[in-house]
């Protein structure tokens, strides 16, 4: 689904959260009311929480603060920032350009049409309802130095949210953020490089802000959104800028010290700490008590045979029955 100039203008006009009649919108855009209606239908397909009321017109369920690249760049000045209304994937945009990116360079989008989660799962991303952020970094030490990176990123994301007044967010090993037992955000780290060379990293964060119920029905697990923590959402530009700054600082720390500086914080935020869990490894299932992570980022699992350690990959951690 493309976002034409007319549809971009329509979103801008509707972003105040007030009613706008089809006649008024048509006059402002130089199109008929029937054309306005067709464009509105297209915007709904992008996931906008948009509704109409006879005699009043169209409105969004909530005001929408669209990304302002100049404002974001002033708030997070370390590296260039790219903003898109609609994109296939913010991670993919950076992955295709790693040879010419600066460490800390970021890509933001209002909507993704081909977003992906862990193990290639599709990522549901209705327009303007999530923080969709990807950041590039380069580790000169090579790919081996990236071990445990997604755990450090998780800590940085939670601390950014805490600094904006969103308490109670926890971490689920190895890639998710939880609130009250439901998934609030996911992290996807993708890397490229060769032996003896620097490692190119693209760090993706998808964070639910305020999801329309019809879009939420497409998600195949229990989910949460920032609106569940604080009904009045912080300005999205402030949120995005704070997140970028925290991620950039975390990467600077990770580059110097690896995961060690993040382990205590991660264990403090561990959603499953001290709880019975199931670890799925293909067809195999291992049960035990979650005991946090070690300095490598390996999951510590207390089993009947004692403490065992498991690194990431194709492992999936679930609540114990």
List CB contacts of 225: < 8 A, sequence separation 6 or more: 184, 208, 209, 210, 211
Q: How many Å from the N-terminal Cα to the C-terminal Cα in the chain? A: 42
| Helices 33-45, 22-29: inter-axial angle, 10-degree rounding | 100
Spatial CB neighbours of 255, under 8 Å, sequence gap ≥ 6 = 137, 139, 141, 145
Two tokens at 291? 């005991």
Cβ distance 143 to 199 under 8 Å?
Answer: yes
Whose CA is closest to 114, among 85, 88, 86, 87?
Answer: 88
63-88 core/surface letters (b: 16 or more CB in 10 A; e: else): ebbebbeebbbebbebbebbbbbbbe
What letter does residue 205 receive in the DSSP assignment? Answer: E
Distance CA 88, CA 219 (A): 19
The radius of gyration computed from the CA coordinates of the chain, to the nearest angstrom, equals: 21
Cβ count within 10 A of residue 295: 12
Q: Give the catalytic positions in this structure.
A: 118, 183, 318
Two structure tokens written together for 109: 């989008």
> How many angstroms separate the CA atoms of 176 and 311, rounded?
15
Sorted by sequence, the CB contacts under 8 Å of residue 50 that are 6+ apart come out as 14, 40, 43, 44, 58, 59, 60, 61
What letter would DSSP give residue 272? Answer: T
DSSP 3-state assignment of 81? strand
Residue 198 DSSP label: -
């Amino acid at each position: 689904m493309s976002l034409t100039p007319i549809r971009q203008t329509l979103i801008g006009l509707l972003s105040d959260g007030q009613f706008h009649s089809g006649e008024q919108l048509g006059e402002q855009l130089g199109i008929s009311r029937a054309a306005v209606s067709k464009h509105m239908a297209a915007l709904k397909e992008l996931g906008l929480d948009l509704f109409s009321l006879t005699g009043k017109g169209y409105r969004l369920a909530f005001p929408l603060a669209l990304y302002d690249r100049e404002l974001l760049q002033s708030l997070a000045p370390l590296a260039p920032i790219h903003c898109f209304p609609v994109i296939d994937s913010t991670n993919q945009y950076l992955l295709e350009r790693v040879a010419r990116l600066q460490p800390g360079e970021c890509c933001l989008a209002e909507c993704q049409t081909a977003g992906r989660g862990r193990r290639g799962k599709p990522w549901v991303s209705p327009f303007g309802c999530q923080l969709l952020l990807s950041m590039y970094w380069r580790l000169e030490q090579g790919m081996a130095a990236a071990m445990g990176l997604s755990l450090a990123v998780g800590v940085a994301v939670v601390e950014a949210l805490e600094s904006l007044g969103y308490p109670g967010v926890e971490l689920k090993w190895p890639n998710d953020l939880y609130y009250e037992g439901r998934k609030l955000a996911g992290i996807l780290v993708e890397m490229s490089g060769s032996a003896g060379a620097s490692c190119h990293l693209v760090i993706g964060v998808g964070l639910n802000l305020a999801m329309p119920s019809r879009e939420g029905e497409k998600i195949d697990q229990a989910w949460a959104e920032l609106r569940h923590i604080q009904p009045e959402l912080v300005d999205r530009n402030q949120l995005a800028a704070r997140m970028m700054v925290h991620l950039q600082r975390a990467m600077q720390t990770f580059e110097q010290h690896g995961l060690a500086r993040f382990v205590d914080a991660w264990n403090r935020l561990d959603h499953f700490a001290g709880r019975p869990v199931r670890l799925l490894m293909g067809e195999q299932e291992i049960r035990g008590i979650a005991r946090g992570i070690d300095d490598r980022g390996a999951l510590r699992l207390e089993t009947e045979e004692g403490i065992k350690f498991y690194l990431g990959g194709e492992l999936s951690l679930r609540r114990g029955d």
